[in-house]
Amino acid sequence: MEVVESVVPQQKSGFFARLKALPCKVKHNIIMVGKNIKKLGKDDPRRVIHSLKVGLALTLVSLFYYLKPLYDGFGMSGIWAVLTVVVVFEFSVGATLGKGINRACATLTAGALGVGALHLSSLFPKEEQPIILGSLVFVLAAATTFTRFFPKIKARYDYGLIIFILTFSMISISGYRVDKLLQMAHQRLSTILIGGATCIIVSICVCPVWAGQDLHNLIASNIDKLANYLEGFGDTYFQTAPEDKDCVNDIKNDKSFLQGYKSVLNSKANEESLANFARWEPGHGRFLFRHPWKQYLKIAALARQCAYLIEALNSQCSSDIQAPPDFTSLIQESCIKMSSETGKTLKSLATSIKAMKHPNSATEHVENSKTAAKDLKSALEAAAIEDLDLLAIISAATVASTLVEIVECVEKISDSVHELSQMAHFKKVEATVSPEKAPQMLLHRGTVKPVLLDGDTDDDHVVITVHDDIASDSPDKQNVKTPKTRVAPASL
Amino acid sequence: MEVVESVVPQQKSGFFARLKALPCKVKHNIIMVGKNIKKLGKDDPRRVIHSLKVGLALTLVSLFYYLKPLYDGFGMSGIWAVLTVVVVFEFSVGATLGKGINRACATLTAGALGVGALHLSSLFPKEEQPIILGSLVFVLAAATTFTRFFPKIKARYDYGLIIFILTFSMISISGYRVDKLLQMAHQRLSTILIGGATCIIVSICVCPVWAGQDLHNLIASNIDKLANYLEGFGDTYFQTAPEDKDCVNDIKNDKSFLQGYKSVLNSKANEESLANFARWEPGHGRFLFRHPWKQYLKIAALARQCAYLIEALNSQCSSDIQAPPDFTSLIQESCIKMSSETGKTLKSLATSIKAMKHPNSATEHVENSKTAAKDLKSALEAAAIEDLDLLAIISAATVASTLVEIVECVEKISDSVHELSQMAHFKKVEATVSPEKAPQMLLHRGTVKPVLLDGDTDDDHVVITVHDDIASDSPDKQNVKTPKTRVAPASL
């Protein structure tokens, strides 16, 4: 590392110096790559497992070649099983199932159509057949390619349409020369089905990665990130401001977790693809088939809306004009309360989504934050400050006004999480918080660690009563305690 | 349509009524699908052309089967050309080139490695060979799959890595049974290369769709959308507010183009994929090879930042508290000026990106908007309003403060467009605006139509002098006039 850096000023000594430094540079690069690999695997160990699963599935289908009886049955068509495994095996069960089902259905329909096209062309003289077949391939390929532009079809059936074109073209083009077409088609189809089935079985049976679970965790963790910011913001803005003018720097240096909300701003594409995969998945764990995945997208859109407001709030931190103390004291209390209560609302919503419990406690915090907004309004109405420096108050006023917007937005988020709770039959919970704990929790500030990592640590102070009112259709009674599930990485 | 709706209240009459309504329903659906197809094609006619191009490329490679001399040369391997065309042909030249080059390189290296693996295994006794080959396939597939998780590698080489696993597995697995492996590998490789070359040639020669051009247009149109909002905002907020309390409704109903900025909020994924494709493209039209595509992403990130602020501005419109007239009159002028001048800056930046001309005129508007921000500050400092209703002013104060933020953000956008102009050697232009036109332009408000559609209409009042200072490396002197290029659709 040192050597690499010292090379820069000696650039004039040229080629030989660089040649001398080369081994060090290479060594340095190898170490860096090694560190990156380790980090990638540590960030989400499922990546390592997925890689091994792909190897396993490939080894399984290669038995078509290695075992004599299987090879005698399928012959060279076994290669289609290998091909299917490589292109169909995806990270999550939903994506693998989606691709597998797409491939199987598309191969079947295109295969049937292809055989039909060959039959049609066989009615014409041999020299005219290529023209008939060529035109059919042209028309079908063009029409199917155009269909791929429909956004809804692209989201769910894109791969199927590609395989449809592929299979139809292969059968109708190669059918012109191959004689035992039906036997070939049959062998290929069965190996493709076997390859697809291998993928799906390995994907589901060996440490499955459920896209639905990932989406669920992602939404909860996004809401949690917003909560972290809001819980910390009020105190950071109003208390450290007099000591340290540039509160952005402060936030950046000391409280980097307050920047976590930034990843929520651009999470739309990721959420939508996870929701698309999740729809392919069968019921698993706490999620039944036809779990309301669309509602998650609605919550995610509102969370993004809230993140935009937080972004606006954050940009106010860079203002270096200090509000006069009498104005600050006027709004400080209600602003800190709005910020911390919306933070608590979101925290509680995140926890309840995570644990799939009814978000009871959130309602109380929503009411508190609305009361704080009303308090702010009446404080401002009643205020009679003379000789007010308008310029000085404008930044603080903006913060207050944005916080009021956030209160409204968080109420919407809470409503839609309640809807989700109804739609997905979340468990009803009565949380009795011991009274001496309550005020402490209310004063809890920015340093709260994410619930996702230590959701169980405070449980000893909370008595939880579970009313299992959906006993008939809930196969997961044993999951009443908050299960420790991992947070979905944003890069999936 | 009427019949379908009238069915709902008659639900009790049941099955027969629904059966009776079925033909109408089907007819209605068919008409809807037809309309959708027409709209999809009309929105971007390149989609229709792309579909025909895929058909053409497939027809071309099917000649491997239909023409006897070609079939005698390549035999069944011709099918690999068909397969390559179906999977490699993409909408833009960059995407097709990227996939084609990935596929070719991956096939070559994996083919060589596969043959090496077979040679290695041939040193062992026949019954041990499957174990050696199987372990090699397992290790290589797992390692390559893991590599796909690196974000940078995934963005550019994902397809190549899949094909690498595919080819290596196919050769080393099937090589165990096939004798004439080298001949087979040679035939396949050449048909894959021919298939890839067909895709690339058709993609470039028949109405090419350049991802770089699309990215360029997308960034310009995003900036233009922000400009539309800002140009219209000041007047809408301050002038229509006294007549119509709910200015959001007003904006939504009458000025739907003011909502255009919303699409900028979620444009990141689209921009990044276009930039990735653009890097594969050779020089084309006004873009040289190694055009600074990264700088576009920088501008796009700043534009998104500005869109977040506009979103915050927009949410203030829903406030139904009216600011007192003396406060409004205090800030109105400078706010309208900030809004319109930032709008003009962005408009002028969008036009100059579009036309690849140096963004001279933007600098003036940036200065104007900064002056307006200063004016606001001094107006607020000098103000001495007695008995101020703090609650009533808070929303208007937030608008003013957000506009100041927007002025800062727009200045950054202007700076980065200037950087782009330097990096990409935009043409230097001296625009002499006729003096009687200037004040009119300054008073121009929300009803300005997007420059992208009628960019040339005002040119008769502007004298343009072109200093071609990069004559040596600019092959496109004839393109000095703003070319009419289409706007990239957001769905690409």
**Per-residue model confidence as pLDDT tens digits over B227-247:** 999 988 888 888 644 444 444
Q: Do A174 and B79 touch (CB under 8 A)?
A: yes
Chain B residues with beta carbon closer than 8 angstroms to that of A383: 390
Q: Do A82 and B173 touch (CB under 8 A)?
A: yes
- The first and second tokens of residue A318, run together, are 């860079």
Residue of chain B minimizing CA distance to A405: B315
Alpha carbon B338 to its chain centroid, in Å, reads 29
**pLDDT at position B410, please?**
95
Q: What is the DSSP letter of B430?
A: E
Q: Which residue reads 């962005």 in tokens?
A: B346
Chain A residues with beta carbon closer than 8 angstroms to that of B395: 401
Size of interface A-B (CB pairs under 8 A): 236
Identify whether the C-beta of residue B173 lies closer than 8 Å to the C-beta of residue A79.
yes
Q: Do A76 and B174 touch (CB under 8 A)?
A: yes
Separation CA B87–CA B106 (nearest Å): 15
Chain A residues with beta carbon closer than 8 angstroms to that of B166: 82-83, 86-87
Q: Do B395 and A401 touch (CB under 8 A)?
A: yes
Q: Do B173 and A266 touch (CB under 8 A)?
A: no
H or E stretch covering B163 = helix B151-174
Chain B residues with beta carbon closer than 8 angstroms to that of A86: 141, 162, 165-166, 169
Chain B residues with beta carbon closer than 8 angstroms to that of A133: 62
- The first and second tokens of residue B337, run together, are 């000026």
Identify whether the C-beta of residue B459 lies closer than 8 Å to the C-beta of residue B389.
no
Residue of chain A minimizing CA distance to B39: A150
Return the higher-pLDDT residue of A297 and B445.
Answer: A297
For B58, which of A41, A141, A174 is closest by C-beta distance?
A: A141
Separation CA A232–CA A257 (nearest Å): 10
Least confident of B20-24, B365-369, B430-434: B430-434
3-state secondary structure of A467: strand
Q: Do B51 and A390 touch (CB under 8 A)?
A: no
Q: Do A41 and B398 touch (CB under 8 A)?
A: no
Query: How do residues B198-208 score in pLDDT, each as one tens digit?
Result: 999 999 999 99
Chain B residues with beta carbon closer than 8 angstroms to that of A137: 55, 58-59, 62
Separation CA A334–CA A401 (nearest Å): 11
- The crossing angle, in degrees rounded to 10, of helices A129-147 and A93-121 is 150
The per-residue pLDDT string of chain A (492 residues; one tens digit each, 9 = 90 and over) reads 344 444 444 445 678 888 888 888 899 999 999 999 999 999 999 999 999 999 999 999 988 888 888 788 777 788 889 999 999 999 999 999 999 999 999 999 999 999 999 999 999 998 888 899 999 999 999 999 999 999 999 999 999 999 999 999 988 888 877 777 788 788 888 888 999 999 999 999 999 999 999 999 999 999 999 999 998 888 888 864 444 444 444 444 445 667 788 899 989 999 999 999 999 999 888 888 889 999 999 999 999 999 999 998 888 776 666 777 888 888 888 999 999 999 999 999 999 999 999 988 889 999 999 999 999 988 888 876 666 777 878 888 888 989 999 999 999 999 999 999 999 888 886 554 444 443 333 333 333 333 333 333 333 333 333 343 333 333 333 333 333 333 333 322
- Indicate whether B21 pLDDT > 50: yes
Identify whether the C-beta of residue A58 lies closer than 8 Å to the C-beta of residue A82.
yes
Q: What are the distances in angstroms from CA A283 to CA A104, A420, B7, B450?
A: 21, 17, 34, 49
Identify whether the C-beta of residue B213 lies closer than 8 Å to the C-beta of residue B485.
yes
**pLDDT at position A460, please?**
35
**pLDDT at position B321, please?**
64
Residue of chain B minimizing CA distance to A43: B149
Selected for mutation to probe chain A from B70, B176, B305, B315 (highest A CB count within 10 Å) is: B315
3-state secondary structure of A431: strand
Q: Do B174 and A130 touch (CB under 8 A)?
A: no
Q: List all residues 6 or more positions away from B106 whose beta carbon is below 8 Å from its beta carbon.
A: B159, B160, B161, B162, B163, B164, B167
Q: What is the DSSP letter of A290?
A: T
Query: How do residues B468-482 score in pLDDT, each as one tens digit?
Result: 333 333 333 333 333
Chain A residues with beta carbon closer than 8 angstroms to that of B305: 311
Separation CA B106–CA A326 (nearest Å): 69
Q: Do A391 and B377 touch (CB under 8 A)?
A: yes
Q: Which residue reads 């496109």 in tokens?
A: B476
Chain A: nearest CA to B418, how far in angstroms? 24
For A162, which of B50, B87, B395 is closest by C-beta distance?
A: B87
Selected for mutation to probe chain A from B33, B42, B47, B58 (highest A CB count within 10 Å) is: B58
Q: Do A146 and B48 touch (CB under 8 A)?
A: yes
**Secondary structure string (H, E, C) spanning chain B:** CHHHHHHHHHHHHHHHHHHHHHHHHHHHHHHHHHHHHHHHHHHCCHHHHHHHHHHHHHHHHHHHHHCHHHHHHHHHHHHHHHHHHHHHCCCCHHHHHHHHHHHHHHHHHHHHHHHHHHHHHCCCCCCCHHHHHHHHHHHHHHHHHHHCCCHHHHHHHHHHHHHHHHHHHHHHHHCCCCCCHHHHHHHHHHHHHHHHHHHHHHHHHCCCCCHHHHHHHHHHHHHHHHHHHHHHHHHHHHHHCCCCCCHHHHHHHHCHHHHCCHHHHCCHHHHHHHHHHHCCCCCECCECCCCCHHHHHHHHHHHHHHHHHHHHHHHHCCCCCCCCHHHHHHHHHHHHHHHHHHHHHHHHHHHHHHHCECCHHHHHHHHHHHHHHHHHHHHHHHCCCCCCCHHHHHHHHHHHHHHHHHHHHHHHHHHHHHHHHHHCCCEEEEEEECCCCHHHHHHCCCCCCCHHHHCCCCHHHEEEEEECCCHHHCCCHHHCCCCCCCCCCCCC
**Secondary structure string (H, E, C) spanning B19-85:** HHHHHHHHHHHHHHHHHHHHHHHHHCCHHHHHHHHHHHHHHHHHHHHHCHHHHHHHHHHHHHHHHHH
Query: pTM for the full model?
Result: 0.79
Model ipTM? 0.79
Chain B residues with beta carbon closer than 8 angstroms to that of A397: 390, 393-394, 397-398, 401
Q: Do B401 and A398 touch (CB under 8 A)?
A: yes
Chain A residues with beta carbon closer than 8 angstroms to that of B33: none
Q: Do A397 and B393 touch (CB under 8 A)?
A: yes
**pLDDT at position A386, please?**
67
Q: Do A142 and B79 touch (CB under 8 A)?
A: no
3-state secondary structure of A253: helix
Q: Do A134 and B269 touch (CB under 8 A)?
A: no
Q: Do B312 and A312 touch (CB under 8 A)?
A: yes
Separation CA A380–CA A372 (nearest Å): 12
Chain A residues with beta carbon closer than 8 angstroms to that of B383: 390
For A402, which of B312, B377, B386 is closest by C-beta distance?
A: B312
Chain A: nearest CA to B65, how far in angstroms? 7
Residue A363, number of CB atoms within 10 A of its CB: 16
Chain A residues with beta carbon closer than 8 angstroms to that of B273: none
Chain A residues with beta carbon closer than 8 angstroms to that of B71: 177
> DSSP 3-state helix, strand, coil percentages of chain B (rounded to 5)?
75, 5, 20
Identify whether the C-beta of residue A218 lies closer than 8 Å to the C-beta of residue A267.
yes
Selected for mutation to probe chain B from A56, A149, A180, A188 (highest B CB count within 10 Å) is: A149
**pLDDT at position A466, please?**
37
Chain A: nearest CA to B419, how far in angstroms? 24
Q: Which residue reads 């008659």 in tokens?
A: B10
H or E stretch covering A430 = strand A428-433
Chain A: nearest CA to B212, how far in angstroms? 20
In angstroms, what is the C-alpha Rg of chain B? 30
Residue of chain B minimizing CA distance to A309: B312
**pLDDT at position A321, please?**
64
Chain B residues with beta carbon closer than 8 angstroms to that of A68: none
For B65, which of A41, A86, A173 is closest by C-beta distance?
A: A173
Chain B: nearest CA to A426, how far in angstroms? 31
Separation CA B14–CA B31 (nearest Å): 25
Residues composing chain A: 492
Q: Do B82 and A170 touch (CB under 8 A)?
A: yes
Query: How do residues B79-125 score in pLDDT, each as one tens digit?
Result: 889 999 999 999 999 999 999 999 999 999 999 999 999 999 999 99
Q: Which residue reads 């993004």 in tokens?
A: A304
